Structure 1
Amino acid sequence: MSSRIPSLNWLRVFEAAARTESFARAAGQLNMSSAAVSQQVKALENQLGTPLFHRHAHSVTLTEAGRAYLPSVQQSLLKLETSTTGLFGETRGQRLYVQSVLLFAHGILASGLPAFQDLYPRINLSLTTGNLTADFANRFTDLQIVFGNPTLFGTEGDELLRERLYPVAPPDIADRIHSPEDLFQFTLIEVSTHRASWLHLFETLRLPAGRARFFFADNSMMAAELSANRGGIALARAPASDRVMALSGLVPCLPGIDVAGQEAYHLIYPSKSALRPPARDFRNWIMDYSAAVQTR
């Protein structure tokens, strides 16, 4: 009877392709050809008897079976790497898996990670992003950066960064807004994944929320782009949104008027005492870096 345990190399190729959502990018990371990656993934699928990827023109996405299989593969590869390091000495690089909510990754992490890599050149960081709570479930990572209530994830964690909210728009539209009540002349772009946004702003400013007309987007980056294209007034979430608002050419509608948000970004992990050395290094760095960003 033949073994159902797949080739280790097939699993390495599957993990890289799943993480990068591209056979070509996986090939680059593994020093293989795209054709070789495709062949090894196909061999794994044949052995398991089920497709693991949906093939698209320039990318791949996991099937339901692939999504269910990925965390086990990542954990197994990581355990093997950790055991090898513990028994036979340090490897040249230490893999670290971090997942972050998209806005924080774009507006905060991207500018700081080069400094982290300079401080810890032996850590090979793999960064993925998500937006919905479901994106952070059933996925293996060392650390996750989430927004909102951290208890939803049932893990230990640290608060990283709070936010301040204020309306933004293209300059010519912002010039037409002279008082908070003038906001109701325009469509207000709401981010549906946030629990406390425009309604929280209205409550703080004592404005009647019933007069508002909303357009719903699923993330702040899309909201900024819609506003830049004259689709309405967006809500800045400083400091994480500073870069995307600047890139979109948006300015504050009511300078001097902003309110403290009710939610925060958190770093979460299964257990502080069980963090691997690269994860501990990242935690120490992100705590200091976030504190510096908050006081700018």
Structure 2
Amino acid sequence: MARRPPPTPMLQAFISAAQTGSFARAASELNLTASAISHQIAGLEEWWGVQLFERHSRGVKLTAAGRALLPVVDGFFQELEAVLHSLNPSKPRPLYLSCTSSLCSTWLIPRMHGSHTEASFNLELVLTSADISRTNPEAHQFDVAIVMGDGDYPDHYAELLMHDAVFPVFSPGFQKVNGDIALADIARYPLIHRVDDHVCPSWENWFSFQGLAPAPYHHGPRFPDSGLAISLAVKGGGIALGRTALVYDALKDGTLVALNAPVMMSPAAYYIICRNGRQSEPDIARLFEWLKAQAQVFVREVTFYQDH
């Protein structure tokens, strides 16, 4: 008798945790709690009798067994979707557009508002959020992805979307309590950190860029996602390192204030990628053009705002 397969929610939790490298991010992606994801993964490990993840304080990492099983499980869902589409070809297959959760919520979604009604953007899209690895982008399901890096993605076609600057931000309420914050004194204030950020500049990088001594270690929350760090800054919880695309709307509406200091350009930029050869598919080409047009408008608006 064939062995009974595990429940679908366990498999979905496994794929999401593997792709995000975090039970917390997987929980956010699947609208569950981190505890629920942990229980799903533990149940799947017991079901199969193998350890799928190494647990660390900064996240999770696939074991050899997990790496072997991930493409099989992910391939199952992709093949299932392809077969279902072949059985019902009249139903359009949506494009999967992947984007980090922070950029998706602060930059992409606001610029999609109303765009889905435009004839030039009449696309069936499914938005997914994931930090896609430069070395292993195939581990994620997407047709088009917005990624941050140097544009080098093996076996993928990449186009530059936009560059980004990095600078400290805080709330008007935080400024009211603490008064004017001088560049030389910033280390005295609570700094909000993002952990496991191997692409974007860290506070250490920013202090070095400004020619300042490294800040002393600060106790406090450390977030795996830039959007969460910025959210705490909006609430007055300290000073976060913002990136232009993530904080521009908040600066414009006054919910955040930028430190008066030279901005640091991020060595990484946003790119749009897809598998090699797919860039000429009509829907993917249209999505590329729409994203680049939105980025061009955004960059012009930021430039105008900075000059005035």
Q: For the superposition of Structure 1 and Structure 2, which TM-score range results when normalised by the shorter chain?
A: 0.5 to 0.7
Distance 1:70 1:201, change over 3 A: same
SS at match of 1:190: strand
Matched, 1:181 2:203: no
| CA distance 1:230–1:195, shift in 2 (3 Å) | same
Which segments of 5 or more consecutive residues in structure 1 lack a partner in the other structure? 24-44, 52-63
User: 1:1-296, aligned counterparts within 5 Å?
Assistant: 21=30, 68-77=71-80, 79-80=82-83, 91=90, 93-119=92-118, 123-131=123-131, 133=133, 137-151=138-152, 154-174=155-175, 176-192=179-195, 193=197, 194-205=199-210, 207-214=211-218, 216-243=222-249, 249-254=255-260, 257-273=262-278, 276-296=281-301
- Deviation of residue 67 (structure 1)? 5.3
Q: Which residue of 1 aligns with 2:55?
A: none
Q: What's the TM-score, normalizing by structure 1?
A: 0.66
Determine if contact 2:100/2:129 at 8 Å carries over to the other structure.
yes
- Tell me the SS of whatever aligns to 1:140: coil
1:183 offset after TM fit, Å? 0.4
Q: Structure 2 counterpart of 1:208, which letter?
A: L
Change beyond 3 A, Cα 1:261–1:21 = closer
The DSSP-based 3-state class of the residue aligned with 1:133 is coil
The one-letter code sitting in structure 1 at the alignment partner of 2:224 is D
Output the TM-score relative to the length of structure 2.
Answer: 0.64
1:203 and 1:197 mapped to 2: Cα distance? Answer: 10
User: What residue is the counterpart of 2:37 in the other structure?
Assistant: none
Alignment partner of 2:267: what SS?
strand
Query: Aligned-pair distance for 1:290?
Result: 1.2
What amino acid sits opposite 2:186 in the alignment? L
Greater Rg, structure 1 or structure 2? 1
Aligned partners of 1:124, 1:70: CA distance in 2, in Å?
25
1:167–1:235 contact (8 Å) kept in structure 2: yes
Percent sequence identity over aligned pairs = 18
Deviations 1:103-137 (A, max 9, x none): 22112210222444223575321111024639955
Q: Matched residues in 1 for 2:69 and 2:128: separation?
A: 17
Q: Say how many residue pairs are matched.
A: 249
